Amino acid sequence: MRINPFINMLVVVALFPIGIFAQLGVDIESGLISSGYNDARIPGDTGTLFSFSEELESDNEFYYRVRLNYRFGGKHTVSLLIAPLTIHARGFFDKDVIFQELTFPADTDVDGTYIFNSYRLTYRNDFYQGERLEFGLGLTAKIRDAEIGLKNAYQETSKVNVGFVPIINFRAFYKMNEHFGFLLEGDALAAPQGRAEDVLAALTYRVSDKALVKFGYRILEGGAGNDEVYTFSLINYLAFAVSLQF
């Protein structure tokens, strides 16, 4: 059964005494995504390895994500990110594919769905703030709400996976001049159980003291492999974002 981790995160954020925060902001990001590799085998030990992006044809999709920011003390930031992601694929396999104990025969039309919704609560300390260069590190508590599904004219099944992952957060910003800058920020961590990277590299333009626009490339990569599930993917984002402060 699906859960709504966003509600739980809102409760956590509400526990912070709002009066201590000096500044509220919001980042709104959208653009186009495309699949690099996107491989799955479920169950991880007895299923058939297949690719959403090579054996099936994955659509390019529009996406959005929203981040709420509280900044206080000049260098501390607490943020809440909502980042839904859905990719659809279709085509046929050139081999029989065993997925979730069902067999999808070769040369039969198949529709696939890849969902990787992410909800993250982040604390970051921007401990270095020079005239041109800024750098910060923090920790992200991530809840993933993932689902992989296949269906044809006769059957359908999916695997839902909801889990918690702690990740390192980082931000580096270089101010070129009064208006232009370069931003590198994201969440990333690797462990024996798997890995996760979500990183944005963007050119920024400061419209005013309260508004900043970003244009760049985001990469979402990672996965896990065990007896229950094997899935690794790389998603490319063409990203445009607006950051507003209140």
- For residues 131 and 154, give the distance between their C-alpha atoms in angstroms, rounded to a whole number: 63
Domain range for 140: 5-245
Q: For residue 24, with 0-12 CB atoms within 10 Å meaning exposed, 13-18 middle and 19 or more buried, which class applies?
A: middle
Q: What is the mean pLDDT of residues 88-93?
A: 96
The predicted pLDDT at position 141 comes to 97
Residue 12 has pLDDT above 60, yes or no: no
**Could you tell me the pTM of the whole model?**
0.88
What Å distances lie between residue 107 and 24, 50, 92, 110, CA to CA?
Answer: 54, 14, 5, 9
Q: What is the mean pLDDT of residues 2-26?
A: 56
pLDDT band of residue 16 (cuts 50, 70, 90) is very low
Domain count for the chain: 1
Domain harbouring 128, CATH code: 2.40.128.90
pLDDT band of residue 194 (cuts 50, 70, 90) is confident
